[in-house]
Chain A
Amino acid sequence: MEPILKARGLVKRFGKVIALNNADFDLYPGEVLAVIGDNGAGKSVMIKSLSGAIRPDSGKVWLDGDEVAFSTPLDARKQGIETVYQTLALSPALSIADNIFMGRELRKKGPLGTILKQLDRPAMNRFAREKLTELGLMTIQNIAQSVETLSGGQRQGVAVARAAAFGSKVIILDEPTAALGVKESRKVLELIQQVRDRGMPVVLISHNMPHVFEVADRIHVHRLGERLCTISPKDYTMSDAVAFMTGAKEAPAQEAA
């Protein structure tokens, strides 16, 4: 099976720091791939290279077999890669619907939309409400309320809903449960499985081993700027995984990536 998203030899330097040192990456259709690694291992930089937020110094990325080079997150989004960043990338003062549609707003039909460029707020609100309800992630009364009035979990929900609504090929989640309580984390994990069951591959970056081992089909262990190994959660324990990523234990001989 061909990977849907593949990267080879990614290199990124920040001054003297080598954040990515010939990193490889493979994501197969329909799977949840967890990416784990110690702080500073370069997980975020690798993910940002795949989502267009960072342009790697060298290396190649293939999406669905075609070579791609994203220079902005917008490029990646246009090709169907949606990312939920750790910072969520929400505008606090704007409404939930405005945030969900940021950068791809719907315009009214007819001259109101084409000439006056008027936003189709009813349609945007309806869609936003639909997506949020679908995910069952929150009980929001007013879709026009600003994001800053929401709790941390609700904000996460808005960001995930945005990615799930528009992603057509790959969804990348960077630490989606890091800031959440027990119940909200559970919702996000259910959501990840829900998205996978719809056939959409998910990349999950997380420090939370129980979460990783619960939802991941494969685990990509990142260490010192490169892929150390890829393991199956069925074959290894959480302590094994932690040992690999911290270097306490030799990586297993690589299975076919």
Chain B
Amino acid sequence: MTETEFKGQDFEKSLTDATANVAEFDDSERSALRRFQQILHSTPSLVPLIVLAASLIVFGLLEERFFRAATLTLIMQQIAVVGILGVAQSLVILTAGIDLSVGAFAVFTSVVMGQFTFRYGIPPAISIVIGLAVGTALGAINGWLVAKVKLPPFIVTLGTWQIVLAANFMYSANETIRSQDIEAEAPILQFWGTSFKIGATTATLAVLLLIAIVIIMAYVLRQTAWGRHTYAVGDDPEAAELAGVQVKRQLIQVYALAGFFTAVAGWVMIGRYGSVSPAASTGQIGNIQAITAVVIGGISLFGGRGSILGMFFGALIVGVFELGLRMLGTNPQLTYLLIGVLIISAVATDQWIRKISG
């Protein structure tokens, strides 16, 4: 060792007497707020849960019929399709992407399930499997374009939204399959619309399916390596790649799984509306509805933060507002106005929570 080297390290000798604390900040004044921020940071679904509870209480006080079981199960039935699309959307947004094609995929796959059964005489159960496969394949195409061709998710899904929606009208010749025909010849297509009794009220199987999907995906995202990788890819793709995550493969899988869930939503739509209609409004606005649920549910559009459970609460909040305001007899536009306010507040809250790292 050389002479210079000892000089270079000499200044460190005084360290032995130094205080062990690296830095201290006096934050006693704002500590309650900070602690709240920290709790929200570690449990992102808490915000939508609080909003949901508050809106339930407010509507319950304003309208006594609101708290009946029938009202609450009706909300669940109404959000089933949007909720499942929201699961698909959540997966994509967690990877810092966005999926504008979910609604179009849902309508197209429902048309595939219907047309394969009625036009080609394929057994409905097999048509359903084909529909689910078509949804998964379409999702995989989105994923391939995003991961391998490196196109922005917004552009890719803006394109596939239009392509699939147009293909949907062309393929179906804009022809609706009537509810009675489905009921008589292929009731399994309407399976998720089957109602059952809980207590004094009835609900549809679609409600149970939505809850099951939310629980399963919450488990997958939290408790499996695949879920952690999905978050890591959305958080910082370069870091994830260097840490040993196969980012491209993960992205394709995420988009494919999202595509699968859009097809599940397509199947649920047949049960919900009875008929198979290529002109269902979901094709045009399903994507925005799903993004709304995701954003109000506290999932960050920058990726890597948030939970499926939050999205579920977000979808419920929208459902509560829609039905609650209708029961109060207000101008229907008020619903959209308030949802707009919620969206902006949710993103503002997300920004505030993220500041914890700054």
A and B assemble together = yes
Sample 18 A-B pairs with CB under 8 A, ordered by A number: A89-B243, A92-B357, A94-B228, A94-B304, A118-B223, A145-B42, A146-B41, A148-B357, A149-B357, A182-B15, A186-B15, A210-B5, A210-B8, A213-B2, A213-B5, A214-B1, A214-B9, A234-B2
Q: Does B235 contact A (CB under 8 A)?
A: yes
Nearest chain A residue, comparing its CB with the CB of B10? A210
Q: Which residues of A contact B5 (CB under 8 A)?
A: 210, 213-214, 233, 238
Q: Which residues of B contact A118 (CB under 8 A)?
A: 223-224
B242–A89 CB distance below 8 A = yes
Interface 1/0 per residue, B227-261 and A, CB below 8 Å: 01101100110111111111000000000000000
Give chain B nearest CB distance to A205 CB in angstroms: 15
| A98-B228, A149-B356, A182-B12 as given contacts; A103 in contact with B238, CB under 8 Å | no
Q: Does A123 contact B (CB under 8 A)?
A: no
Nearest chain A residue, comparing its CB with the CB of B227? A119
Q: Does A194 contact B (CB under 8 A)?
A: no
Residues of B within 8 A of A (CB-CB), count: 38
Give chain A nearest CB distance to B200 CB in angstroms: 36
Interface 1/0 per residue, A202-236 and B, CB below 8 Å: 00000001100110000000000000000001101
Interface 1/0 per residue, A76-99 and B, CB below 8 Å: 010000010101111111100011
| A53-B242, A118-B223, A237-B2 as given contacts; A102 in contact with B228, CB under 8 Å | yes
Tell me what chain B mostly uses at the interface: helix, strand, loop, or mixed. Answer: helix
Give chain B nearest CB distance to A209 CB in angstroms: 7
Q: Which residues of B contact A153 (CB under 8 A)?
A: 22
Q: Does A30 contact B (CB under 8 A)?
A: no
A99–B305 CB distance below 8 A = no
Q: Does A181 contact B (CB under 8 A)?
A: yes
B9–A119 CB distance below 8 A = no
Contact count A vs B, C-beta below 8 Å: 123
- A126-163 at interface with B (beta carbon < 8 Å): 145-146, 148-149, 151, 153
Q: Which residues of A contact B243 (CB under 8 A)?
A: 73, 89-91, 99, 102-103
Q: Does B158 contact A (CB under 8 A)?
A: no
| A73-B241, A91-B243 as given contacts; A105 in contact with B22, CB under 8 Å | no
Chain A residues in contact with chain B, CB under 8 A?
53, 72-74, 77, 83, 85, 87-94, 98-99, 102-105, 107, 116-119, 121, 145-146, 148-149, 151, 153, 181-183, 186, 209-210, 213-214, 233-234, 236-239
| A92-B236, A105-B228, A117-B224 as given contacts; A234 in contact with B244, CB under 8 Å | no
Interface 1/0 per residue, B4-38 and A, CB below 8 Å: 11001101100100100011000000000000000
Nearest chain A residue, comparing its CB with the CB of B304? A93
For the complex of A and B, 7 pairs with smallest distance between CB atoms: A103-B244, A210-B8, A148-B357, A89-B242, A105-B225, A102-B243, A91-B235
B1–A233 CB distance below 8 A = yes
